[in-house]
Structures are given as C-alpha cells and as structure tokens.
Structure 1
Amino acid sequence: MQALYALRQAEFSNQQLALDGIADLFQPDLNSMEPQNKRQLEGFRKLAGLLFEEAVKANQPAKDDDAPTKVLKAANDGYVFYQIRSKKDQQHLAQMMIKQVNGIYEDYIRVLSLLVELGHAAQVDSERKYRDVDETPFPFESTLNDNMVIQALASHQPLQNEMLRQGIAWADDLGFIRKALREVLKTDDTYRAYCEQRTHTEDEDQALVQYVLRTLVFKSDTIRDYLAEIDLSWTENSEVVRGLAIRTLKSAQTPAGLKLEPLTDDWEEDERFLNTLFDQSLKNDADYEQLLADQLKNWDVERVAVLDKIILKLAVCELLNFPGIPVKVTINEYIELAKAYSTPKSGKFVNGILDNLSEKLQASGRLRKSGRGLLDNK
C-alpha cells in the first residue's frame, strides 16, 4: 500500500517534470534575431501538454495527424521521459518495499541488543566509585546485567552474528544508553525493587525482563523516540517487533534454551506474495479501475480518496490472484488497512464496496477459490 502510494506521488511528479520540459521547448528564443510569435508558441505548448497527458492516460504514444511535427515530438519525448522515470521509480519502490519488511527483523535484533547494552551499562554504573553529590541513592544489590535472561541474550552467538550481519552496534549511542538507564530504568519503581534483592528466581528474572521490554522499551518516550529516529517505520513495525521479542525472551526458560524468532514461517513465500501483489496491481490497474468505476456508479471515482482507491485495487488484486486466501480474510485485512491509514469513514466504505464487488465477481465466475481459500472464516 505504501509503495503504491509513493509510486502515485512519484508519477505525478514525473508528469510535472515532463510538462516543464515541454514548456521549455516552446519558450521564446531571446537570442534569436528573428521575431518570435509568442501566441503561437503558447498554443504549441498547450497542445503538446494535452497530447502528453492523453498519452499518459492511454499508456501509449500520442497520435495526431493534424498536430505540427515538433509539437507531437515534444509530447512523445515527454511521454518517453515520463515512462523511463516511472519505471525506475517502480523498480526502486519494489526493492524498498522488501527492504522495509526486512527492516522489521532488523528492529527486532536491535531491541534484543538494546536490552543487552542496558544490562552492561547497569553493571558499569553499579561499579562506579564516585558519584555526584546530588545523585539519588540507588540500590545495587543486583542489576539488569545479573538477570538470567539478559545473560542468555549476551552469550547467544546467533544474536551476535545477526548484529554483525545487520550492522547493529551501540558504540556510537552510549550517551543514549546512559540516558535511558538514568531516566527510564533507575527512576522506575519496579526496576528499583528488583535491584534491592541480591538473588532472584528464574521466574522473577523473566518477569523483570518482560516488564523492561513491554513497559520501558516500548512505552517510554525516551527509548521509543530514539528507536523511531533510527527507523522511520518504527511505529508501524513495533507491534510485530514486540511480539517477536517477547517470544524470544520467554524461550530462555524452555528446555532448548533461548532461540531467535524467524520473521515469518516462510519468508520466500511471503516475499513472492508481496512482489506478486505489487506487480499484478500495476499490470491490471486499468481493469481494476473499471471494476471500481462500475461499482461506484453513484460516486465520482476520481474524487474517491487516493489511498482508498489504492486499498480497493489491492483488495481486488488479492481476491482475483490468490485463490488460496479466503474472501473474508482479504476483505477484513483491507478494512483494517483503511481504518488505520485512511479517513475515519474509509473502513465502512471499503467494506461496502468489497462485499458487493466480491459477490459480483463470484457470480460472474472471475473469482475462484481453492484449498484454504474455500474456508468461510466466519
């Protein structure tokens, strides 16, 4: 959805650049000694612009036997420029889409490594010989670094390997680490109570590290805002990252020991789904546009919110191209997307359109489901 929205914005910009290039071709030549017919040049500019816009809409070079050769050439040169730029943008955004999904896993590794780094900082802090006069006394019977789960993370070689592979290190962020320890952990009553006790059970260690993760890392402004600066998609990714991290911490108490979570059960299949959905939605855009236009007879399809239209087209693409996904699963997913990212009324709007459209597609025989896709999912 975000990739397609970004592409639409890029295409609009490319159109404006092409029109600017066309306009430059029909500016008066101030260095020419010959008289300039400004009115004619302005007419040529407008005609070339119209032909260019028709070409973009028709997705093919402009044709007009009555247009002057230089006007038609200007329009089609602009169209070629637009196509090349938009194609590059499409390829770039498709790559960025996959990169952003992988960024969820990077955030997950970063959060786990942050817990280890906070533990190390807590240990260093407890060993300081000199303290500020106005520093609030703090109990150091134990620290986060003594926590069994933190120790398991610190010694877990797969985590160290992933940190190296993802290029994650906190050496340049020690100021933030010390600030997070000082302002977030050491001011928290639950963490303080933990540090007042010299020894802890495994369950107490698990409870504390879960608390630090869920309440302090994911909810404190100091840490949350810093992570959001590192990854602009943190707000969207954090829910998945939180789930992955929680399961990883819990695994420290299993017989098999601590284990990193995979991003998905089958990343190759999920990546194929993303690429197919992106490519097919663009390839069949005109078809989906017509399906929506027929469904929105009482609406001006051009006035439907851009994001709503993207969401609807993606839903139609998923309905028609993925027979293994039940209809209701698709509709519910895109209703949630509309609620989260579009206007307050978009959820109901998308629900109504997709319910009616899916019934018509099934009746016409275009929408066919198989396997798991046949499940009703009530």
Structure 2
Amino acid sequence: MNRQIGIPCVMMRGGTSRGPFFLASDLPALPAERDALLLSVMGAGNDLGIDGIGGGNPLTSKVAIVGPATRAGADVDYLFAQVRVQEGVVDTSPNCGNMLAAVGPFAIESGLVPAANGVTVVRIHNVNTGKLIEARIQTPGGQVAYEGEAVIDGVPGTAAPIHLAFLDAAGANTGRLLPTGSPVDLIDGIPVSCVDAAIPVMLVRAADLGKTGYEPVDSFRSDREFMARLEALRVEAGRRMGFPNAAGMVIPKPVLLAPPTRGGTLTVRYFMPHDCHRAMAITGAVATATACTIPETVAAALVGRFTMPGDITFEHPAGRLTVRLDAGRLEAGDGRSAPTASILRTARRLFEGTVFARPSTPSRTAMAA
C-alpha cells in the first residue's frame, strides 16, 4: 500500500495572504516532482482545495519555499508558488510581496539567519524574479516578535511591524521597466500602461472600461462580459510584454485605476488576474506606485506631478496601502530611473507540523470531473 508523504510545514500569514512555508531541503529538487507534491498538499482538483490545505481563494492558495541564498549579497532564497487548485497548475512566474513579509521571520526561526538583539535585517533573494528585497524584522532579545502596534488594512488587530524595501524592483520578469518601450499602448482602442516593477502589470483607467473603479469586489466576478474583456486586454498586453502564453499565466496583473475619494493618491482594483483582490497586492502596489513616477503613464496622468521622496497611498477595497518611494538607480534595460519602494507589513506564525501529500496527484481528467 502506498503511504502518504509527510513534509515539515509552517503555516504563516504574510500581509493579507496566507499559506504554507517549506524549507527547500524538505521538497524535491526537481520542479515537476515538487509541483506534484504542492498540488496534493493544497488540494488540487477542487476550487475549495477540499482535499488539502488550500483556502479556496487565490490569496490563500500560495506557497513559500525558503532556503540558503544562491545569490551574492542575499541571506536567503525565496521561491513563491501560486497554486491554481482548480486547474491543477503551479505558477512560479510571479513574486508575492505579502507572503514575502513572513519570509524573514520564517528564515530566522528556521535557523537560516541568526537573530540580532533588536532588529534583524534579512536580505531576501526572490528566485522568481532574481531581485533583492530587504526585510527589517523586530527581534527583541534575539527572538522574532509577532505582537506589536502596527496596523495594516485587510488584517484584524495589530502586530509587530515588518519593513520591506524593494531594492531593485525594475524589470522583475522582463528586464525592462517599460517592457513595450512605451509608457502608453493602445489595445483595442483602450490606453493601457505596461509596467514591470516587482511584477508585470497592465494599468488601465476604470472609466475606459465602463467602470467607476469604486465597485465592490464581488461585483466584478458576476460581470462576465467585463471579465472577458479585461482578460482579452491582459493577454494582448502580456504578448506585447514578451509573454506569448499569458493566457496560461497569472502575469501580467490587471489594475483598474480611478481618482481617490478618501484622501489617498489613487483608487485601485487589482486582479489576480481572474478575480479581484480583496485588498491590494504588495508587488502590484510597487509596480503601480512606480508607474506614478513615469511621465505619460495612465497612472501618472491621474496623479499629476510627483516628487521623490514621497508617499503614494492606494485606496483599495479593504482600506489603504502606502508605498514610500525614494530615488533609486537607473534601470539597466532602458535607462529609466527606478525608485526604491518601501512598504509596512505584518506577519504571524499560525501553526507548524507535518502536512501530508498523496503519493500521486489526480489526473487532469479527474480534476475536471
């Protein structure tokens, strides 16, 4: 009889996302074998992940894999995996900045990084994009602190602050801040901006698609005509950005933009890409904030003149998210200035133990049944 496969696992909340964290050494080295285990662990074949620990939503169907650094200047490697449980797909093309918030605490408590007394700086190499992120973790007495007074919208209560600085976010997947070479592209008559900073995004004014940008999250899912139109724009934007198979990927991410109504800089609706985020993705916030500094993008046109250093505050369905922008270096791909983006997040260790995978994953036919 085939026995289930036990894998050490820590479930953590990072920002407004949640998922299992694994040491790279506890998973198969071959991507195909690793992905098969992750599909089983997360409950592939059912939109609720009923036979696994997936949470029935893209925000809770995420995986972090952490190990020793393979890049100079980094302390640890972090590979992010978005598990699409219904389709049975593991996508490692994007990064996730919310899950990233829990990487530092996990690395310290796993013994990968020694803790300082006070604040521990962890330099994280995101394997998905090859980029470096600096995380500042509260470690009084050499122990990770989870309790504190920091508040982030979309998460109840307070927690210890975690400061993330995206040191070289430009060209995360394409090598260029503006992958199409232009701040604005016309797709089916609609002006969009294709920007790659932390993650590739397609920015579009909500009004240009017949929306206000202030709609509740669930209203988008029920508007099938709108979702089909947004997906067609996204796929074509992806093709122009260098992703000929964008229909089978979760990048680029579409972002609807509208003027603020609560004192912020912009109102945003961020898509993942086939459902609207209930808050705002951190990588998406970095990309959208960066776009605000690039003349002629649809974001910059809405924001107006912006001078660094400064804050960009996004109004999203769960509240607000602020990105601090400081002047950065020139982006090697096209010589444009790429700011350093910093964001406040929190994290919490939820439980640890052993998660069990089936010895084989269901076939695609069984998943579709």
> Could you say which structure has the greater relative contact order, defined with CA pairs below 8 angstroms and 6 or more residues apart?
2
TM-score normalised to the size of structure 1? Answer: 0.20
* Greater strand share, structure number: 2
Greater Rg, structure 1 or structure 2?
A: 1
